């Protein structure tokens, strides 16, 4: 199994890059696992307490579970991937049955911060985007898809998103095998990743 890790800051366009890679590959051959599914279970906390959690810090991620699931998939064993609700700031209790594939893409802002996880990736990709562009995308997404208001998004950006990005995410570029600038000129890097995947398939 070829495992590709795709990281980058919030709103950098990781999902767009993943979709561009998948678009021209055979359906069902490549699996995708999102780090967002592996936020720690916070059922023991009240909603008010959950809202206060810094979800942009590596400790908010259940890395041991994510690692175990990747090991299982690599060994040909299907896993039950948790489903996470951004409106409730918690896992829903439901899962998605995820089967082993020849190629697996793992995407998320913090996936390169964990050394054990990093070592499991055959290819490490970092998607880079301008800070202003990332903030605009984050604003649009959080307001339209996650029920947040403008003040809440901007406060979170200033107090946790930006400091965590500078401390944990941006420095991870040094571990990347490929850095993709997320603009209209990124086709060459995406073609390279797609070619590597095609060779494996």
* The predicted structure's pLDDT at residue 61: 96
Number of domains making up the chain = 1
> Per-residue confidence of the chain (201 residues) as pLDDT tens digits?
999 999 998 878 888 889 988 888 888 889 999 999 999 999 999 999 998 888 889 999 999 999 999 999 999 999 999 999 988 889 999 999 999 999 999 999 999 999 999 999 999 999 988 777 777 877 888 787 777 778 887 888 888 888 898 999 999 999 999 998 876 566 788 888 889 888 888
**Looking at residue 41, what DSSP letter applies?**
P
The strand ranges marked E within the chain are 2-7, 30-34, 79-85, 90-98, 103-107, 123-128, 178-181
3-state helix, strand, coil in the chain (%, to 5): 50, 20, 30
What pLDDT is attached to residue 183? 62
Tokens of 119: 């070592």
Alpha carbon distance 114, 168 (integer Å)? 10
Give Cα 17 distance to the centre of its chain: 11
- Cα–Cα distance list, 60 to 40, 57, 99, 158, 195 (Å): 6, 6, 25, 18, 34
What's the CA gap between 196 and 189, in Å, rounded? Answer: 11
CATH number at residue 155: 3.40.50.300
Which structural domain range is residue 46 located in?
2-200
42: Cα separation from own chain's centroid: 19
pLDDT at 151: 81
């Amino acid at each position: 199994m070829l495992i590709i890790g795709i990281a980058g800051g919030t709103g950098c366009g990781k999902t767009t890059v993943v979709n561009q890679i998948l678009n021209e590959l055979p359906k069902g051959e490549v699996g995708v696992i999102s780090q967002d599914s592996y936020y720690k279970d916070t059922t023991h906390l009240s909603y008010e307490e959950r809202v206060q959690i810094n979800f942009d810090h590596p400790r908010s991620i259940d890395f041991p579970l994510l690692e175990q699931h990747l090991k299982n998939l690599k060994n040909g064993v299907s896993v039950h991937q948790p489903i996470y609700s951004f409106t409730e700031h918690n896992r829903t209790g439901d899962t998605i049955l995820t089967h082993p594939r020849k190629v697996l893409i793992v995407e998320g802002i913090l996936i390169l911060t964990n050394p054990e996880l990093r070592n499991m990736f055959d290819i490490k990709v970092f998607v880079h985007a301008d800070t202003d562009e990332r903030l605009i995308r984050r604003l649009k997404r959080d307001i339209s898809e996650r029920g947040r208001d403008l003040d809440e998004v901007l406060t979170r950006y200033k107090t946790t998103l930006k400091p965590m990005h500078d401390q944990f995410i941006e420095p991870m570029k040094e571990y990347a095998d490929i850095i993709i600038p997320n603009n209209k000129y990124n086709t060459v890097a995406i073609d390279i990743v797609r070619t590597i995947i095609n060779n494996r398939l």
